[in-house]
Structure 1
């Protein structure tokens, strides 16, 4: 075991609850403190976090839900990847690469839990360690779970099935589209905002068809989206991978064929609303059309409790089935607040996974 003397760690905190709108950079703070890494207990390891994930779902934990605003100061926790710096755990060796769901602190002492920390040694290198918060982390496992576990393309279908994926140029959508097309041979339709991102869908991520939702007429987005989907899937869509909510969901549901499936991954369009409005669903029609809507989480797939995510995704990367892995980097832990705001503020041109590199 290598021994590290007491060291400095930097951590990302939200100062207080923010119920409405996008949190400002001033709502966060980076706190520097000392962590004693010199005397580990049996089973403990010291981890050095080298990459921090930046994800829309974290917005939910920044709302008060009735608690006093000032009670909201807390250390943010999310997906990270890095290296083991010291170990008194027989399952972990100094230098091992890992992915994990941990507090956003650059150096910390933990007792590894297989449900919260998984080994990436042999799957990534120093140069690709960021994949631990991307294609081999939460976004990749979410894409894998949504398509392979929830939507489950039907190889015995009497027609080539069509999938519609919203937020298709983002961390999840960019990977999901490649799995859908290159692993399951589906007809793929993706939506994204702006000409540049629409071009990215077709040229980089291999989507068969792309819809620019920013070009839809204000006030008539739902009907216009239905018309766009009908253009590329005249008989309707078989699957919808939901990342946005709002009129995207309504249009997809209106376009869903009999036996159609919807995987509920996220609803980024209402994350910053105090009282979000949710689409109505005609559950009576679903009975006779035998349609299915299902929510899901990626954790069971990351932990290896369901499917074979790490094995399958690593193979697909090697085989070139998942070949376009876009990442947008922000440098230094101090940049995490700015990176988080970029997910919601349209002036930023993020592509694929947004990552903070320490």
Structure 2
């Protein structure tokens, strides 16, 4: 929990154009506890902070020092906002600050979602995981972009990660899909099959040829000889090219991330090869998206659907947990070294 005397904020103090972020790039800055001033405002005690790959792109350029901003979940401890009474559990995109004033103006401009009816305080990390950005990304990409038909085949990269593990389980539970996952290491491969219910798992760390795209495509075809109908893209690079090589007619690719390229300096990451003729003549589709329409409730029925699936035992959740705001940098770095399984969370 936050100190009763100070608020603490994760602050970027040095830009990181390339490579894995390190503690020297960040500082924890103390400030007075804010008070709730005007009508429509509230004070949020943050109980969980997220570490997500997409944040890597935001620390390459811009002014420093500046607060890091991302997905948090916590409890409203002061309020002059009727929609958010004291005790409400909130998920939101806000600065990584342990206690913060959230004005009505900020609320009107940022993503927020009400977790009060879906989880308890003890389950608060779910608000930045299965009921937060990762869950809504999996839900939106599957139901809104890929739109599976019953029994189709789905390939998922980063299958042991926060998003990949959920999208595979949702595809199994809702559409009875055959699901193939790619992840790094024997332990993760076993996890995605035993805990997350994937039909097949491929260890990309065992790929040894110079042409990893062709080798991975061969592994996919070994698992599903007729190829794949859908690919949920989290990684980029040779994973994308292998998926294209095994994509069936009328196949779909949902693109929400490309973690293999995030640590390159801006403009230097290798580009993916896309077979345009294949797309045209086999009626294939590639679509990028972000979670916002589903997370904010403007599209679909994310919170109600996914909280129900979770309570029914259809979704298993794995978390890599770090304790305390000072551990956020280590949590962030773990995303790029493969040290995490499932959702990376920082508990305060």
Query: Same fold by TM (over 0.5)?
Result: yes
1:136-192 deviation digits (Å, cap 9, x = unpaired): 00000000011011000024xxxx310000000000011111101111100000000
Alignment of structure 1 residues 39-50 onto 2, 5 Å: 39-50=36-47
CA distance in 2, matches of 1:36, 1:293: 45
Instruction: Return the match for 1:291 from 284, 287, 290.
Output: 284
CA distance in 2, matches of 1:76, 1:36: 18
The offset of 1:276, in angstroms, is: 0.2
Alignment of structure 1 residues 51-62 onto 2, 5 Å: 51-62=48-59
The offset of 1:72, in angstroms, is: 3.3
Q: Which residue of 2 aligns with 1:80?
A: 72
1:242 aligns with 2:233: yes
RMSD over aligned CA atoms reads 1.3
The offset of 1:51, in angstroms, is: 0.1
1:22-68 deviation digits (Å, cap 9, x = unpaired): 1111111110111331x52101001000000000100000112xx6x
Q: In the alignment, is the contact (CA less than 8 A) between 1:45 and 1:86 conserved in 2?
A: yes
CA distance in 2, matches of 1:34, 1:242: 42
CA distance in 2, matches of 1:9, 1:299: 28
Counting matched residue pairs gives 340
CA distance in 1, matches of 2:284, 2:205: 29
CA distance in 2, matches of 1:127, 1:306: 28
1:141 aligns with 2:141: no
Q: Which residue of 1 aligns with 2:165?
A: 174
Q: Which residue of 1 aligns with 2:188?
A: 197
TM-score normalised per structure 1:
0.93
CA distance in 2, matches of 1:163, 1:345: 26
1:131 aligns with 2:129: no
In structure 2, list runs of 5 or more residues that go unmatched.
Answer: none
1:286-307 deviation digits (Å, cap 9, x = unpaired): 1110000000010111111111
Q: In the alignment, is the contact (CA less than 8 A) between 2:78 and 2:86 conserved in 1?
A: yes
Instruction: Return the match for 1:353 from 327, 343, 346.
Output: 343
Secondary structure of the structure 2 residue equivalent to 1:294: strand
1:300 aligns with 2:293: yes
The offset of 1:73, in angstroms, is: 2.3
1:263-295 deviation digits (Å, cap 9, x = unpaired): 001000010012101111121221110000000
CA distance in 1, matches of 2:240, 2:285: 14
1:277 aligns with 2:275: no
The offset of 1:7, in angstroms, is: 4.3
Q: Which residue of 1 aligns with 2:322?
A: 330
Q: Which residue of 2 aligns with 1:343?
A: 335
TM-score normalised per structure 2:
0.95
Q: Which residue of 1 aligns with 2:217?
A: 226
Instruction: Return the match for 1:34 from 25, 32, 35.
Output: 32
1:317 aligns with 2:314: no
Secondary structure of the structure 1 residue equivalent to 2:122: coil
Following superposition, which runs of at least 4 residues in structure 1 exceed 6 angstroms of deviation? none
Deviates more, 1:219-228 or 1:198-207: 219-228
Instruction: Return the match for 1:266 from 257, 260, 266.
Output: 257
Q: Which residue of 2 aligns with 1:19?
A: 17
CA distance in 1, matches of 2:98, 2:37: 18
The offset of 1:218, in angstroms, is: 4.2
In structure 1, list runs of 5 or more residues that go unmatched.
Answer: 1-5
Q: Which residue of 2 aligns with 1:3?
A: none
Secondary structure of the structure 2 residue equivalent to 1:178: helix
